[in-house]
Amino acid sequence: MIRRPPLPVVLLVLLALSSTFRLGAEAPPAGWFPFNPAPDENASDSVTDLRKLNEAFAGEHGFIRARGGQFERSGDGEAVRFWGVNGPPHDSGTPGEYRRAAQRLARYGVNLARLHGPMFDAAGRPDPTKVRRAQELAAALRAEGIYTHFSIYFPLWLTPKPDCDFLHGYDGNQHPFAALLFNPDFQARYRQWWEALLLTPNADGKRLVDDPAVMGLEIQNEDSFFFWTFSEKSLPAPQLEILEHRFALWLEKRHGSLDATLAAWKGQRTPRDQPTAGRIGFRPLWSMANERSLRDQDTAAFLLEIQTGFYRDTIAFLRKLGFKGVITASNWNTADNRVLGPLEKLSYLAGDFVDRHGYFGCGTRGENSEWSVRAGHTWADRSALRFDPEEHGKPRSFNHPAMDTEYDGRPSMISETTWNRPNRYRSEAPLYYAAYGALQGTDAIVHFALDGADWSVKPGYWMQPWTLLAPSQFGQFPAAALMFRKALIQPGAVLAREQLPTASATALTGTRIPLDASFDELRLKDVPAGTIVKPGQVVDPLVHFAGRTQVDFKGEEPALELTDLAPYIDHQAQTVKSTTGELLLDYGRGVLRINAPAAQGASGDLAAAGKITTTDLTLESPLDLIHMMAVALDGEPLRTSHRMLVQVMSEEQTTGWQAADVGEGRRKIVSIGGDPWQVKELAGTVRFNRPDAAGLKFTALDLNGRPTGSAGQGPELKLQPRTLYYLVEDR
């Protein structure tokens, strides 16, 4: 099975290639303009500079803790929402490069960086060089008010050799999926990585374990007993036997003996059952989720106990080291999110908050398409605002990574998410996440992935599908970060609340509010061939676009409180209205209207929507993909604000990009192109409807947010073809 290289390695290759393959001299296509901002180290006059949103330095007001379903600063009790990124790369770089990257992140409203990479070498030994670089990057981020969240283990980063002394039975080709959950020798080595990272003094004699700028620690990335990678094929016999033996001991305690166990199971056996040797095997996850026999229920209870126990023990170890920030278990999906999903979330309650991953894919196909974009690959453009399916002709897919649920009153994070390239609708992402993250009470959104501090498409003979420093993504951060971090969109009412006792979860009765898997193409490789990843909601999934949902693992019997959704969801009109009245999604046309006091605008196919009116604006555009937002810079409602930012975006592509239709809604890449980015020219009007609108002053800003000249006077702002940002003032 072909796998993506570790992310830091991918980034190093891309950065090296990007200095060689530059196509900036090529003429832009008609109707597009190059997005190639000048250096912005000195941003003192930038209207879009959001550095002031951050603390003077991260941790200025104490460690981050989880309380009352949100993150807050321990020093002053102030609630914090995190608008974050995965990266910058910390496998290489200098303190100066780290400082420049941190300054740019802060200017665009980022206050959290997930540093996702191993702290060990190929043999699994702690790596002092990786630790030192992580310290240097964390220090640079801290100085700009950006917290760090460390993710240091992903099974894909380790390939044990046959002579590995802490993981026996591997052949140098397999990754140790699930082994960390139960192998004590592996766990001991794993703890050495945390000790090296947290306890090693830096050049100034300071340790990360004592630094309140370290927001959180992640125990492991994308691994679980309840995902497809837990199987006989993924675990070599010496490892599987460790777990089978523990299962047998657990069953003897539960049923009195293995004979009594097998009798209770009515003789249901597996080929790996060896009761005389003190080992009992595991049925496939598909069988567990679909047949749910007593054996399956016992298996679920055992696996939950082992997985939860590992998380609890690891958290106790990290606390003993002295770490005072927040800790999360993992972030993964399951083989069946309706039946097995509750078990995964239950195990996460050992930690301080619940994390997850999700990608909005575009069905890319071709060699290594799960981690690269290359000539010859095919894809399908998909709009999330329309819930387009990945396959042409299929029904709408009411499933999206922005959908969130609160579990047992814990804060919620999405630590990896994006719209994958080359989807032309990728520019929907920032406003979509900001609006619906705020509505659902999501506490942290961490975009994937910042692969360098330059506005580059990272060209070579391939590009990666998640580049974040792109006009469609990072270029829309100013308004999106303000909306999300400053709570300009209000949380919705709780529309669905499920009570799900632990006993019901282990009995495999399932949840009525599952969050279906939103895989990127990389992890779809782990889903067995022929398996259908299908929606399993019982509650209308559009509830997540109307308000909040909660699941509590308590009580004696399962129960569901469901508010009447008819006032908010209209399937005939194909609209969803938020309980706050601030968001209206017209998924028939593919348009999101945002109408909050201090943030108003529209996103999507405005050509189809025609004139859109909010409380204080009227918006029009002939484009079928455009995003137009007005956000108050002074915290006042737009009706009375003295300083406002108008931000617009269309869509992006590389210079020299070429593609051809191949039928059934799919396109084929002919040339991936190169630097610089190109943005489709803007067109449309933003009319202010407040009483003093005629006296408003419009100033055009450059790509770094600096004033370039007058864009006219109110009440109507006519968009300039190549201007993304405008300052609006009332005097």
Q: Look at residues 353, 377, 518, 535 and name the one whose alpha carbon lies nearest to residue 448.
A: 518
pLDDT at 40: 76
Domain-located, residue 487: no
Which amino acid is it at 14?
L
Domain-located, residue 604: yes
pLDDT at 519: 40
Domain-located, residue 682: yes
Strand order in the sheet with 685-688: 612-613, 617-620, 685-688, 716-718
Phi, psi at 548, each rounded to 5°? -105, 160
User: Does the pTM of the predicted model rise above 0.85?
Assistant: yes
- What is the spatial distance between Cα 67 and Cα 409, in angstroms, rounded to a whole number? 9
Domain-located, residue 406: no
Which amino acid is it at 434?
A
Domain-located, residue 62: no
pLDDT at 531: 38
pLDDT at 530: 45
pLDDT at 8: 46
Domain-located, residue 162: no
Domain-located, residue 697: yes
pLDDT at 490: 98
Residues 6+ apart with CB under 8 A from 589: 386, 574, 604, 605, 608, 609
Residues 701, 707 contacting (CB under 8 angstroms): yes
pLDDT along the chain (731 residues), means of 10: 40 36 58 92 86 98 97 98 93 87 96 98 97 97 98 98 97 97 98 98 96 98 98 96 98 98 96 97 97 98 98 98 98 95 98 96 95 96 95 90 96 97 97 98 97 85 93 98 98 96 96 68 45 54 96 93 95 97 98 98 97 98 98 97 98 97 96 96 98 98 97 97 98 79
Residues 119, 75 contacting (CB under 8 angstroms): no
Domain-located, residue 61: no
If one counts the domains in the chain, the total is 1
pLDDT at 19: 34
pLDDT at 243: 98
Q: Please give the structure tokens belonging to residue 715.
A: 């009440």
Give residue 724's domain range: 580-651+677-729
237 secondary structure, DSSP code:
H
pLDDT at 89: 83
575-577/583-586 β-pairing: antiparallel
pLDDT at 26: 59
- What is the spatial distance between Cα 19 and Cα 449, in angstroms, rounded to a whole number? 19
